Amino acid sequence: MAQSIVQHLSVSFEHTKYQDDYRNRLQQVIAKKIQGEEILKNEVAHPKSNVLDLISALQASLDALDNKSSSKSIKPKGKRKKEQNSMIS
């Protein structure tokens, strides 16, 4: 079943559909530098990434679990039926 899903979703890779934006920006900066133009820091700024810091995300998840479990109050359990019956007699 898994193999059929993978085969169904698989397509051949078409490199023409993708472009390397970083390389293109870098080539533009290099061309300006060769021409003697001043390169401003904003021109070389790295795009924001949506990559999460995995360790921080895992730690936050663990902290949330700790807070959730410690915030629950422990309810005392009721007496067992056997104990209740011995009290009645």
Q: Which residues contact 18 (CB under 8 A, 6 or more apart)?
A: none
Residue 67 has a pLDDT of 78
pLDDT digits (tens, 9 = 90+) for 9-66: 888 888 888 899 889 988 999 999 999 988 877 655 566 666 677 888 888 888 887 7
**What's the mean pLDDT in 60-83?**
67
What would the two tokens of residue 22 be? 């970083």
Residue 39 has a pLDDT of 81
- Residue 83: pLDDT above 70? no
Residue 70 has a pLDDT of 64
Whether the pTM exceeds 0.75: the reply is: no
